């Protein structure tokens, strides 16, 4: 009997979140093409995307022995170096294991909907792979649709404790762990050291010294001149996931949330006084003209913005900048918070060998994998042990990212309504940047998200 699945809600993965997922493509070591070409996964197509088989799988090699297990694994296409690393690690797994063979396929990601189209086509046909790569904020959507299975029974306490809290938070839905990631992400506040020296401004170097909103605004105003903005928020990435990824910590640091803890409502959360105040602050940044709605692609790197809230990929694009740069912690209101989240792995409910599939998942997220992936992509690792093994995270500027990942990272909410929730927040953030009535916009978006939530409350 063919397994019956729930409908997978359309996944709208907009511009920048893939940039928070590693890889090396134009402008930085990120899979999202510096956050400007992220997949827009509207899962309404039935055609499967192109695939590229990896390693020995191209030759149709099976694991040795009649009783060996062959597993299928899907990974989304990303930057060449990152993709090559995945292939290398899978080939190494196959070499190290006689009883399990992984047939991995790199699903071509055309920057539109090809990856989610492939997932949905396989879902309809009943031939999902055993192991699947998915974007962290969408774990709940996959779990609610019965596409991925809980891995609670497989992970050890020791292993769980080695992952940074945000990875476990990202992978958990309804109290069950469904996914694990090999990398994390963060958004530090980059700054131009030359400009700071000229202006006599000392940058904070630790979470304890992070600027409050008032201090942040005051410095941004001081640094704004006729020919230079004080801040870049990369609004050129568009109205999409970047605005939630980068912007939600304004709410969290103000003791606000986007959705209730039990995930049943956004009324009183998405439109709470804390959220309104947070977006009013964002509105002030634009009203004071310290940040541009239409920045150039390389505004910070070209010295036309003194500061920038950007991901680790900005450190790569700034390598050739004609100035010295540094990182400082994300500014806060009441309690320091920072963005987090990246690609992860899940075991599909169609797998006939979930225990063996978890061995592959554990291999792809173990200390060696997380260190290697961090070295290839520039993204922070997902494990405490990896941070301890990588010396450059002990020193500035990278210690700022380490401290944010291990101390202040906050995962985006896990709800099957996330595709609508994230778009709602992004629309409100953009409305604030345009100077619109924040409270009115949030109330409108609450009604929209509440309708979506009702779909999952039988």
pLDDT tens readout for residues 22-33: 333 333 334 333
- Does an H or E element contain 87, and which? helix 80-96
Provide mean pLDDT across the span 78-95: 94
Other beta carbons within 10 Å of 396: 13
Domains of the chain: 17-185+341-408 (3.40.190.10), 189-339+417-454 (3.40.190.10)
Q: Which residues contact 152 (CB under 8 A, 6 or more apart)?
A: 176, 177
Structure tokens of 258? Answer: 């986007």
User: What is the rounded distance in angstroms from the CA atom of residue 180 to the CA atom of residue 249?
Assistant: 22
Task: Give pLDDT tens digits for 368-425.
Answer: 999 999 999 999 999 999 999 999 999 999 999 999 999 999 999 999 999 999 999 9
E strand spans, 178-278:
179-180, 189-192, 229-232
User: What is the rounded distance in angstroms from the CA atom of residue 454 to the CA atom of residue 96?
Assistant: 47
Lowest mean pLDDT among 38-52, 156-170, 223-237, 308-322: 38-52
Does the pLDDT value for residue 18 go beyond 50?
A: no
Task: Give pLDDT tens digits for 127-152.
Answer: 899 999 999 999 999 999 999 999 99
User: What is the rounded distance in angstroms from the CA atom of residue 48 to the CA atom of residue 46?
Assistant: 6
pLDDT of residue 42: 34
Does the pLDDT value for residue 112 go beyond 70?
A: no
Residue 366's Cα: distance from chain center in Å? 19
Task: Give pLDDT tens digits for 241-297.
Answer: 999 999 999 999 999 999 999 999 999 999 999 999 999 999 999 999 999 999 999
């Amino acid at each position: 009997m063919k397994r019956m699945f729930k409908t997978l809600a359309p996944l709208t993965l907009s511009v920048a979140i893939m940039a928070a997922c590693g890889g090396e493509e134009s402008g930085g070591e990120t899979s999202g093409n510096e956050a400007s070409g992220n997949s827009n996964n509207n899962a309404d197509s039935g055609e499967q995307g192109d695939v590229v088989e990896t390693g020995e799988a191209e030759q149709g090699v099976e694991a040795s022995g009649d009783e060996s297990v062959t597993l299928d694994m899907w990974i989304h296409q990303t930057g060449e170096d990152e993709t090559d690393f995945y292939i290398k690690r899978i080939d190494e797994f196959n070499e190290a294991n006689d009883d399990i063979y992984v047939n991995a396929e790199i699903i071509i990601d055309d920057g539109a909907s090809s990856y989610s189209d492939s997932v949905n086509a396989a879902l309809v046909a009943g031939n999902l792979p055993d192991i699947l790569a998915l974007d962290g904020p969408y774990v709940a959507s996959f779990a609610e649709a019965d596409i991925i299975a809980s891995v609670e029974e497989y992970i050890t306490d020791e292993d769980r404790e080695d992952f940074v809290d945000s990875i476990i938070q990202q992978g958990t839905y309804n109290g069950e762990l469904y996914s694990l990631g090999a990398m994390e992400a963060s958004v530090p506040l980059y700054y131009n050291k030359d400009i700071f020296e000229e202006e006599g401004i000392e940058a904070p170097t630790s979470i304890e010294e992070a600027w409050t909103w008032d201090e942040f605004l005051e410095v941004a105003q001081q640094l704004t001149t006729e020919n230079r903005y004080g801040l870049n928020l990369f609004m050129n990435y568009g109205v999409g996931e970047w605005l939630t990824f980068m912007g939600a910590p304004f709410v969290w640091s103000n003791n606000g949330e986007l959705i209730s803890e039990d995930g049943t409502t956004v009324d009183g959360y998405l439109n709470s006084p804390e959220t309104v105040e947070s977006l009013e602050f964002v509105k002030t940044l634009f009203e004071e003209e310290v940040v541009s709605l239409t920045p150039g692609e390389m505004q910070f790197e070209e010295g036309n913005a003194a500061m920038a809230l950007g991901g680790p990929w900005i450190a790569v694009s700034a390598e050739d900048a004609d100035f010295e740069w540094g990182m400082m912690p994300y500014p806060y209101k009441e309690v320091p918070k920072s963005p987090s989240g990246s690609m992860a792995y899940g075991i599909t409910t169609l797998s006939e060998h979930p225990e063996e599939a978890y061995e592959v998942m554990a291999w792809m997220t173990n200390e060696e994998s997380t260190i290697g992936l961090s070295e290839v992509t520039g993204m922070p690792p997902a494990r405490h042990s990896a941070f301890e093994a990588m010396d450059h995270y002990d020193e500035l500027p990278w210690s700022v990212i380490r401290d944010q990942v291990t101390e202040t990272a906050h995962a985006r909410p896990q709800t099957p309504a996330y595709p609508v929730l994230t778009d709602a927040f992004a629309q409100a953030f953009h409305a604030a940047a345009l100077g619109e009535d924040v409270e009115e916009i949030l109330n409108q978006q609450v009604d929209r998200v509440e309708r979506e939530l009702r779909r999952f409350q039988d």
